[in-house]
Amino acid sequence: MTFLLYLGKVMLCSGILLGYYWLFLRNKRFHHYNRFYLQGTLLLSVLLPLIRIPVLNQPQSPVNQAVYQTLAVLTVKDGEEELMGEGPGWAARLFTLENGLYLLYVIGVLVLLFAFIRSLLYIRRISKQYSFERIGGLKFFTTGEPGTPFSFLRSIFWNNELVFNSRDGQQIFRHELFHVQQKHSTDIIFTELITAFFWFNPFFYILKKELKAIHEFLADQYAISGNDRYAYAELLVLQTLKANNLPITNQFFQNHIKRRIAMITNNQSARYSYRSRLMALPVLALVFCAIAFRAQRSAEEDGKPVIAQKPITIIVDAGHGGIDPGAASLDGKVKEKDLALQICQKIQQLASAYNVNVVMTRSDENLPGGTTVIHDGLKARTALAQKINPDLFISIHVSSTGEQTVTSQTGFELFVSNKDDERAKQSKQLGSVVLQELSKVYAINETIKQRKQNVWVLEQTPCPAVLIECGFINNEKDLAYFSNSGNQETVAKKILEGIVNYKNKPVAMVNPSVIDHTPDRNERVEKTVKPAITTTAPVSSNSNSLPVAAPPPQQLFNDSTLNKLIKHFNRNTWYPKQALAQNAEGVVYFSVMVNRNGELNNFKTYEQAPAEANSQVTKLVIVSYARETGNAATEQLSNEELTKEYQSVMKKAAERKPDLSGCTPQLSPYYFQVSFRLEKKSATANKPVEAVVPASAGISDRQMLLPNGFLWKKQGKC
């Protein structure tokens, strides 16, 4: 689509420049200036979109801020799981929308080039058919052809019915002679070729027509020098011939008669003319900056691959092979082993452009190492990795639900080892970056996954390793997308870009919460959960209520977005008046998401801790002083009504806009548990409250664990 984008920029550039000409230069008497302006417009429109001048420093890639907080561990079939297929036939790959557009473009070019060549052949034919005389450096042909007189290059084709030595004949001859001297035919050949290759651009047809009009204005001006301009105008009117004209010649009797007569008889202010011409400079500068200058945000945006700073050696493993076909499409025609190999081969073909060296575990349909046993094939894969010790190991598969029915599950899935060591952490970082790149071209599962029973190639490789499931083979949309050769190339590029970004730029990581799914993928059990540390530190805009944040210390100092959210809810939450009036306490659960614009959305409340929170819930405590006696005059609320009051308070706090500038959008929601708690007043009510924090948290037992860093008093503001 890069070429189609270029054609669109050509149209935009020509449209802007033609618009300026139409408003300020058209039908003005500075014809030489207009001629070169129109020529320049054609040339700039074609060349300017090819110029790329970076004017901004490359900003920090979002990959530098990659954060994954939720790591789902899924139990799937034991052993290696891969996907691949045979792919569609040549007809399905050929008849695509993009190829159809290219075909239409080529047909248009060929039609116009044929018309152009036919005109040239006509001129060549009549130049051989009729005799000529040499007048100076030109050839003068006397013909009986319709459409004459006209000129082309250094030849004038005269009509034998027009008396050469008459007054009218001499003026017409001077007119055509000027075309020859000024080489107007080269302008026309240039515009015809440009129009042929950009036939879809309507602005070029208008430019071509205007350039021919300028040629006639200039030739008319030369022909009437020293003669009666009104007599010449009369000649144009009386002797206009109704004949077909060749598009590549300069005919005396053309259209533009009304405009030519106006140019001959009218005068214009020179002051206004100079002003109109000078206005072209800022317009040209604006177009040049808009088309040529660009912020260099990424190498991909400039049409060039992101290159690794140092050479990278990776092993690319096409899953399954040989007697192990892997999953298959519902009709059995597409097999996982074949489809995975096709994607891997695309990675291998493109890798050199990214400064990446690819070693394939298999390059044909057989199992790696020429083995005939599936288990030996798995060993051959990891033995190769241990032998060459690559930087990374990438295994390509295609997923399946294992059922002979169409599934609605779709998109990329990415698996890493379930071990808890440094190599596994690096694999998670690699997976996060690769998923971010793949999300730009197709749907992804936003959580990195693990299997309860570890995958051999992920466990036994000596380097960071990921397994990428490229869609679901029993999903028709996924099968069509990943079977397409062009889409396979796009996927390969994104995987390579993720690899290069991972090696070039460090990735921030937050300690993840892990959820383990049982083999039926329904029952959830906790695997690793960091207990939240609750602090009591009141702060509120209401003197009667004391909201307190209780973030886990590791998250507080590693996740700036969560840190800012805690600040926000600290400052915007109060104890509901009606709950306070009847000395009621309660707990409410809610979740929010942060979008790409740094705004909170998707606020949801829950009656109990949501299972999808994966036990990663940030705890907040809203503390107020209990009244000595409840307010009997106040209408007593039920537990359900009180819960709605608590939820309403948190919703209003979420609707207020926090400052989340510079934060990375979270792929999954933030979950909060808010406890509304009452305390009795004491003699120390006005003293600062200090947090009680375990020494393991790395914080002094006298230090306040508040995200805003201030020491708060119980009944005051900061």
Q: What is the pLDDT of residue 249?
A: 60
57 pLDDT above the threshold of 50? no
d(CA 477, CA 156): 64
Q: What is the pLDDT of residue 287?
A: 75
Query: Which contacts qualify for 442-446: CB closer than 8 Å, 24 or more apart?
Result: 442/411, 442/412, 442/471, 442/481, 442/491, 443/410, 443/411, 443/412, 444/411, 444/412, 444/413, 444/414, 445/411, 445/412, 445/413, 445/414, 446/667, 446/668
Give whichever of 24-28, 588-592, 632-636, 677-681 has the largest mean pLDDT.
588-592
How far are the Cα atoms of 39, 45, 227, 251, 490 from residue 170, in angstroms, in the given order? 30, 39, 11, 15, 66
Q: What is the pLDDT of residue 493?
A: 94
| 152-194 residue pLDDT tens | 988 999 888 888 888 878 888 888 888 888 888 999 999 999 9
538 pLDDT above the threshold of 70? no
d(CA 191, CA 181): 19
Confidence of residue 113 (pLDDT cuts 50, 70, 90): very high
Q: What is the pLDDT of residue 664?
A: 66
Choose between 551 and 304: higher pLDDT.
304
14 pLDDT above the threshold of 70? yes
Question: Where along the chain do its domains lie?
Answer: 2-51+277-291, 77-84+300-509, 94-266, 545-697
Q: What is the pLDDT of residue 69?
A: 37
> SS in 3 state form for 417-473?
CCCCCHHHHHHHHHHHHHHHHHCCCCCECCCEEECCCCCHHHHCCCCCEEEEEEEEC
Both tokens of residue 67?
A: 């954060």
d(CA 325, CA 81): 10
Confidence of residue 102 (pLDDT cuts 50, 70, 90): confident
Local structure of 312: helix, strand or coil: strand
Q: What angle do CA 522, 468, 393 make, to 5 degrees?
A: 125
- Radius of gyration over every alpha carbon of the chain, rounded to an integer in angstroms: 38
Confidence of residue 345 (pLDDT cuts 50, 70, 90): very high
Average pLDDT over residues 100-128: 91
Both tokens of residue 191?
A: 């515009």
Both tokens of residue 27?
A: 């039908």
Residues 619/677, Cβ–Cβ less than 8 Å: no
Residues 379/387, Cβ–Cβ less than 8 Å: no
Give me the CATH code for the 77-84+300-509 domain, please: 3.40.630.40
Least confident of 241-245, 639-643, 701-705: 701-705
Average pLDDT over residues 13-19: 89
Percent of the chain with pLDDT over 90: 23
| 285-334 residue pLDDT tens | 777 777 766 544 444 444 566 787 789 999 999 999 999 999 999 988 99
Average pLDDT over residues 77-99: 53
Q: What is the pLDDT of residue 297?
A: 47
| Pair type for strands 293-295 and 586-594 | unpaired
d(CA 493, CA 353): 10
| 487-507 residue pLDDT tens | 999 999 999 999 998 888 655
d(CA 702, CA 704): 7
| 427-483 residue pLDDT tens | 988 998 899 899 989 999 877 888 877 788 998 899 999 999 999 999 999 999 999
544 pLDDT above the threshold of 60? no
Is 266 buried (19+), middle (13-18) or exposed (0-12) by CB count in 10 A?
exposed
Look at the alpha carbons of 519, 521, 525, 531 in this order and tell me if their dihedral is positive or negative.
Answer: positive
| Average pLDDT of the chain to the nearest whole number | 75
77-88 in b/e burial notation, b at 16+ Cβ within 10 A?
eeebbbbbbbbb
Q: What is the pLDDT of residue 656?
A: 82
Residues 308/500, Cβ–Cβ less than 8 Å: yes
| 41-54 residue pLDDT tens | 999 889 888 887 66
516 pLDDT above the threshold of 60? no
- Which residue is listed with tokens 């007569």? 261
Choose between 9 and 78: higher pLDDT.
9
Average pLDDT over residues 608-617: 78
d(CA 96, CA 204): 28
Select from 406, 384, 414 the least CA-distant residue to 491. 414
Q: What is the pLDDT of residue 293?
A: 62
Residues 399/413, Cβ–Cβ less than 8 Å: yes
Percent of the chain with pLDDT over 70: 70
| 237-256 residue pLDDT tens | 655 544 455 556 655 445 56
Q: Can you give the pTM of this predicted structure?
A: 0.41
Local structure of 489: helix, strand or coil: helix
Q: What is the pLDDT of residue 254?
A: 52
Q: Give helix 280-291 / helix 31-47 axis angle, nearest 10°.
A: 10
